[in-house]
Chains A and B, each alone.
Chain A
Amino acid sequence: MKRMVFGALGALALSVTAAVAEYPEKEIQGIIQWGAGGSTDTVMRSVTPHAEDVLGGKVVLQNITGGVGAIALNQVAGAKADGYTLLMGAENPLLYKVLGLGKKDYSDFIPINVLARGTAILVASPDAPFDDYAGMMEHIKANPGAVRFGSTGPGGLPSVITAMIESVEGGLDVIKVPYDGDGPALTALQGGAIDVMPAVLGASIEFIRAGSMKPLAVFDTEANKNLPDAPTITSFNAGYEAHLPWGPFFGVFVPNGTPDDVVAKLTEAYKVGAENADFIELMDGRGFTMMNISGAEAQDFLTNWQQGTAWLLQDAGLTKASPEEFGIARPAE
């Protein structure tokens, strides 16, 4: 099987110089920034076997958690730039600098592949006295400081979404109850400990289908095909268009300085791996939008994402240091 794939890639192999023709000549270490069972973990463990087939080598996956992913990022950044250590991360590192969580971010890395993007959604418990975003905003205005929003710490998806709401609506007077991830927060939502949760669509889709949560608004410009009936946020307030599309993403990275041919080989492997039908089906089912981009395209995506989000948090007063200090330009309006 492996040989067949190799044969199909023969054309590619020809362009690779003799010196690294054998890459990978030993197993590759893939460091996952988040814990076992999480979204990043699931995505990486499902795409990597397909990429391994193309690569003709073994990628040993390890979860190194802690410090909102900074421990893993620093470890890979400090490893030899020889393509034998990969970072499998999510969007968080782009905010480390402004949140004072670390001095490195993806600018110290070459993106191999930005695999997919998630969509944010605002969900409420079925008992909430409002059924959509407009109703919620009215309810909050009538009952200031009473509605409980779930949150997951600075830089997490809920903090960005609430910053977006504050920026577009000019304020959001709610109680923010902190959880250590959207899983526990969505559990709390079903138990009535919180009323509203900004979550990633994939994590809440099954609960919405079962009626144990109701969708208030999808944070996208067009309806999601998994939840065609859920209204988009732009249908309530066109002011959100400036910030969208926005979402958490997953990507594979290597440290700066990795030889070009190694980067090329890895890029090809993950590109083909991400085109696998099983993987695409899995991602669709979890409500992720496939991106499968690399090179300059991925670099641009990362830059735009960082500019938009960092300044959104800066304007909401959630940052420890201004994006300007790190040369992160304010996005052009």
Chain B
Amino acid sequence: MPATDPDIYIDPEHHDGTSDATPGGEQTQRRPGELVFAAIMLIASLALLWSAYGIAGFDALSSPGAIPMATTLAMVITAGIILFKTAKLPLDHSETVVRDILPPVVLVFAGLLIAYGILLRPLGFLPTSALFLIAAIKLLARRGWGWTIGVSLGSLITIWLIFRIVFSVLMPSGVVPEAEFIQFFRNMINGGAG
């Protein structure tokens, strides 16, 4: 059983699980917040099972609800076992939520990402991304504004060129008249060639 494999590599520094192959959980202790997470998982699984039952009930073996019901049932059972096992483990007193699970920097970044999601449509891809990159890099690197803005805009333009020009991925343009801008350059090139 993998669970008892003694060779599992766990980052000694607060088991942060930097690789998916070595999840950050502890084998013998309960990390702060783990019990709450397990409880939420059980509640969510129960809600999904109820929702799956609502698709078609016990209508037929071939109903669109059959597999969803089977899998959500499996989720409920395993979530229950996990919750039970987690509750039995002793709490790891060397860790705290603020230091090891959700340090301020992670919260700030989660906030930045959510702000990005909210602003993307009204403001458009280019301004939102520029703001995000500048804020994020400034926050992490703590270097001068010139450097921060230069690096941010440089990489943003590269990404934009690849996705927008080469792959025609039309991100929401928002307040920037992107299409007119591109047409201007296209006309210029066409004009030059013709």
How does the 8 Å CB contact mask read for B166-187 relative to A, with 1 for contact and 0 for none? 0010100000000110110010
The verdict on A25 contacting chain B, using a C-beta distance below 8 Å, is: yes
B194 near A27 with CB under 8 A, answer no
The smallest beta-carbon distance between B62 and chain A, in angstroms, is 9
The smallest beta-carbon distance between A153 and chain B, in angstroms, is 11
CA distance A125 to B191 in the complex (A): 57
CA distance A220 to B119 in the complex (A): 53
Give A16-66 interface residues, CB cut-off 8 Å to B: 25-27, 29, 58, 60-62
Interface size class of B (residues with CB under 8 A): under 10
A25 near B183 with CB under 8 A, answer yes
**Interface majority SS (helix, strand, loop, mixed), chain B:** helix
The verdict on A225 contacting chain B, using a C-beta distance below 8 Å, is: no
CA distance A58 to B190 in the complex (A): 12
CA distance A61 to B167 in the complex (A): 11
The smallest beta-carbon distance between A55 and chain B, in angstroms, is 13
The verdict on A311 contacting chain B, using a C-beta distance below 8 Å, is: no
Choice from A2, A3, A26 contacting B182 with Cβ under 8 Å:
A26
Question: Residues of A contacting B168 with CB < 8 Å?
Answer: 60-62
B194 near A3 with CB under 8 A, answer yes
Chain B residue nearest to A3 (CB atoms) is B194
A-B contact pairs, 17 of them (CB 8 A): A2-B190, A2-B194, A25-B180, A25-B183, A26-B179, A26-B182, A26-B183, A27-B179, A27-B182, A27-B183, A27-B186, A29-B170, A58-B186, A60-B168, A61-B168, A62-B168, A62-B170
Excluding A60-B168, A62-B168, A84-B179, 18 further A-B contacts by CB distance (< 8 Å) are A2-B190, A2-B194, A3-B194, A25-B180, A25-B183, A26-B179, A26-B180, A26-B182, A26-B183, A27-B179, A27-B182, A27-B183, A27-B186, A29-B170, A58-B186, A60-B170, A61-B168, A62-B170
Binding site for B on A (CB under 8 A): 2-3, 25-27, 29, 58, 60-62, 84
